[in-house]
Amino acid sequence: MTAIPPGRSRRTALVTASCALAVTGAMVLLGCGGDDPDAGTNGVGKLPAAKIQAKTRAAADAASAVRLSGTVVTSGRTYRLDMQLKADGGTGSVTSEGATFKLLRIGRELYLKADADFWNHADGTPADGSDGTTGKLDGKYVKVPQGDPAYKKFSGFTDKDVLLDGLLTLHGTLATEGHHAEAGTRTIRITGDEGSGGTLDVSLQGTPYPLRLVRAGHAGTLVFSDWGKNFTVREPARSDTVDYGKQLPTS
């Protein structure tokens, strides 16, 4: 075997060590990803804001169910919502001006449940039930006639497509506003007119669902969760239901 000159051996060792350090350095840089905030995500954070909005709307429309909670301000009135929604129904609670009522929709059948104070506020009759009306409605599900103004007013709160179409809209020029987090989930935030037209946080993990919406003009903030998580809506028992008649009192 031919002997390797000592000088050459040292040079070879130095070159090998240098290459190892160079490879290690590259691996460190690649491992950090240059602190790439989109590393390991669904990739929507790298898209233009308009494409992110299109993808999150498509994801929301395709989802079988969703839960939303928060506030919506409309016509000068603030509604606090906690609703579960899917294509064929919805259930949850709505609070407005100190009165809380429950809504339940199965197909086209809409039920409303509230206490006497709500009905008193709606039609001005005594909350103690002395008129024979509000006392009967207190704490019972009332089937809302489809021709009644209250049906149109309240059914939208239980309709996934109608509610999301009205809410998931940013106004003005769209732009991205950095990476954030919502309930532990990494998000990309898109804005309308630098935030004055609303902001929307979109999930960077899995399906790009909308997770948090701040509406334009201080019109409320909503959090979305349980995307695609099914739930059951059942018609209330007859003992828990009252037939008010052809028209309900409205607030």
How many CB atoms are closer than 10 A to CB 15?
10
pLDDT digits over 88-122, tens only? 999 999 998 888 999 999 999 999 998 777 776 55
Q: What's the pLDDT score for residue 24?
A: 38
Nearest 5°: the CA angle 125, 129, 134 is 60
CATH class held by domain 44-242: mainly beta
Q: What's the pLDDT score for residue 121?
A: 59
Judge whether residue 47 has pLDDT over 70: yes
Average pLDDT over residues 31-46: 81
Average per-residue pLDDT in the chain? 82
pLDDT digits over 20-31, tens only? 434 333 333 333
Domain ranges of the chain: 44-242
Residue carrying structure tokens 């031919």? 2
Beta strand segments in the chain, E? 65-74, 77-86, 89-96, 99-106, 109-114, 140-143, 174-182, 185-192, 199-203, 210-214, 221-225, 241-242
Report, in angstroms and rounded to the nearest whole number, the Rg of the chain calculated over CA atoms: 28
pLDDT band of 14, cuts 50, 70, 90: very low
Token representation of residue 197: 């037209």
Q: What's the pLDDT score for residue 197?
A: 97
